Amino acid sequence: MGKSDDGRRIIASNRKARHEYHILDTWEAGLVLNGPEVKSLRDGKVAFQDAFARVEDGEVWLYSLHISPYEQANRFNTDPTRRRKLLLRADEIRKLVGSVEEKGLTLIPLDIYFRRGYAKVTLGLARGKKLHDKRETLKRRTQEREARRAIQAHQ
């Protein structure tokens, strides 16, 4: 994708997450990877399908994030959907534990990027949307798009 103004090079964004969930809060976490996974991530070969995070024994783990095997690494590749450790400060983890235990809330990855050479993931504390919320969001987005087109047409 491209570099943003704060030095982030966004690799992939979980567009479906903002459609399926209300995002209540976000955190930036480091992502523990092995060598071939970093290379594959730099190539943009990542899929968020059903990815989520969970707090276990005072550590945060990311599950079901698919990072495709790097072709030149052959025998050094690992399972593409293995669980990966996320690096957060202890006070952030304590805050997460309290939030996630609340009914109906989950942690989902919103995007993956590199900042100063380190792989980072933006975690979102999310509550699932109901069907009528999704329809309302689509309706609002369509109205905004039509309004922008009308403004551009009159200029």
Q: Where are the domains of the chain?
A: 9-129
Angle at 91 between CA 88 and CA 93, to 5 degrees: 50
Q: Which CATH number fits domain 9-129: 2.40.280.10, 1.20.1290.10, 2.50.20.10, 3.90.320.10?
A: 2.40.280.10
Question: Residue for token digits 């109205």?
Answer: 143
Structure tokens at 140: 């609002």
| Rounded Cα–Cα distance for residues 117 and 81 (Å) | 22
| Rounded Cα–Cα distance for residues 145 and 51 (Å) | 30
Q: Which residue has the higher pLDDT, 69 or 4?
A: 69
Question: Residue for token digits 């669980």?
Answer: 83
Please give the share of the chain, as a percent, with pLDDT higher than 70. 96
> Is the separation of the CB atoms in 40 and 47 below 8 Å?
no
pLDDT at 134: 79
pLDDT at 133: 78
Helix/strand/coil for 71: helix
Query: Is it the case that residue 6 has pLDDT exceeding 80?
Result: no
| Rounded Cα–Cα distance for residues 33 and 41 (Å) | 10
> Is the separation of the CB atoms in 123 and 53 below 8 Å?
yes
Question: Across residues 132-140, what is the average pLDDT?
Answer: 83
Q: Which residue has the higher pLDDT, 111 or 101?
A: 111
- The per-residue pLDDT for range 10-69, each reduced to its tens digit, is 888 888 888 888 899 999 999 998 888 888 888 888 888 889 999 988 899 999 988 888
Please give the share of the chain, as a percent, with pLDDT higher than 90. 25
> Is the separation of the CB atoms in 106 and 126 below 8 Å?
yes
Say what the pTM is: 0.76
